[in-house]
Amino acid sequence: MMYLLQVQQSRRSEQVIIEIINSEGIAEETKRKYLLGQQNKVSLSDVNNQMWTLAVEIDIITPSWSEIYVFYTNQSNVMTSMLRTFITKHIDELKDISELEETQREQLANSALLTSNFEISVYDKLIKVFNGVTFEDADISSIDNAHLKSLLYADMLPYSIYYTTTIRDSHSDVLPYYAEKYLDECVEDIDELPTNMDYTNILCEIQK
C-alpha cells in the first residue's frame, strides 16, 4: 500500500504540479517535499518566475535545450552549478539542440565548453551536442588539459597563432597534440613566434 501511494505521488498530473509550484499558500519546503522525484514534467512557461530556481532544482522541468536556454538567460547568461547539475542528470536526453537558433547554441557552447566544470564524460557528450560550433581565439584559460584535448579532437579550436602561443605557454602537455594536428600551419608560422626550443623540438620530432 505504501509503495502504491509513493508511485501515485511520483506521478502527479502536470496540472497538479503547476498548481502546487505556483501556489502562494504553500511553503517552499512543502513544495519541495511534495514535488521532489516527480516523473511528470512541466515547462518554465507554466511556472511563476519566482519559482523557476526551485523548479529546476527539484527537477520538475522538461529536459530540453529550449527550457535550459530560457533558464540560462534568466540567470544572466551564466551556467550556474544548478543548471550544470540539471544538464548532467539529463545529458542522455539532450542530444538534439536543433530547436535553438545558431546564436543561442553558440552562447550555451561558450558557457558549457570553455570551462572544465563538467565531468569529462558529460563534457564529451556536450561536444557532440554542439557539433559544428568553433571557438575563434577564445579565452581557454579556464580549461584543463583533458578538456582542451577533447576540444582539439572535435575540431572546435581552429589553428591560430594565438592558440599556438597560449597552448605552448599554458598547456604544454597539450602542445604535442596541437602541433601534430596543425603541423603544416605551425611550421609555416614558426618565424612569427618567439623562440622556444621545446616547441621547436616538438615540431622536429613530429616531422621525423
pLDDT exceeds cutoff 80 at 199: no
- Give the model's pLDDT for residue 4: 30
Mean pLDDT of 175-188: 87
Compute the distance between CA of residue 26 and CA of residue 186 in angstroms, rounded to an integer. 63
- Here the cell at position 46 is 507554466
Compute the distance between CA of residue 77 and CA of residue 204 in angstroms, rounded to an integer. 44
Mean pLDDT of 86-104: 97
- Tell me what the pLDDT averaged over the chain comes to: 89
Say what percent of the chain tops pLDDT 90: 73
**Cβ-based neighbours of 153, under 8 Å, separated by 6 or more:** none
Q: What confidence category does residue 194 fall into, taking pLDDT thresholds of 50, 70 and 90?
A: low
Q: What confidence category does residue 190 fall into, taking pLDDT thresholds of 50, 70 and 90?
A: confident
- Give the model's pLDDT for residue 122: 98
Compute the distance between CA of residue 18 and CA of residue 47 in angstroms, rounded to an integer. 7
Compute the distance between CA of residue 98 and CA of residue 135 in angstroms, rounded to an integer. 19
- Here the cell at position 84 is 550544470
CB 37 within 8 A of CB 67: no
**Cβ-based neighbours of 78, under 8 Å, separated by 6 or more:** 72, 111
Distance from chain centroid for Cα 61: 18
- Give the model's pLDDT for residue 68: 98
Compute the distance between CA of residue 127 and CA of residue 162 in angstroms, rounded to an integer. 22
- Give the model's pLDDT for residue 6: 43
Q: Which of 8-22, 62-76, 101-115, 116-130 has the lowest mean pLDDT?
A: 8-22
CB 60 within 8 A of CB 42: yes
pLDDT exceeds cutoff 60 at 195: no
Mean pLDDT of 52-61: 97
- Give the model's pLDDT for residue 189: 77
Q: What confidence category does residue 198 fall into, taking pLDDT thresholds of 50, 70 and 90?
A: low
Which of residues 198 and 182 earns the better pLDDT score?
Answer: 182
Q: What is the pLDDT of residues 136-168, one digit of tens each?
A: 999 999 999 999 999 999 999 999 999 998 998
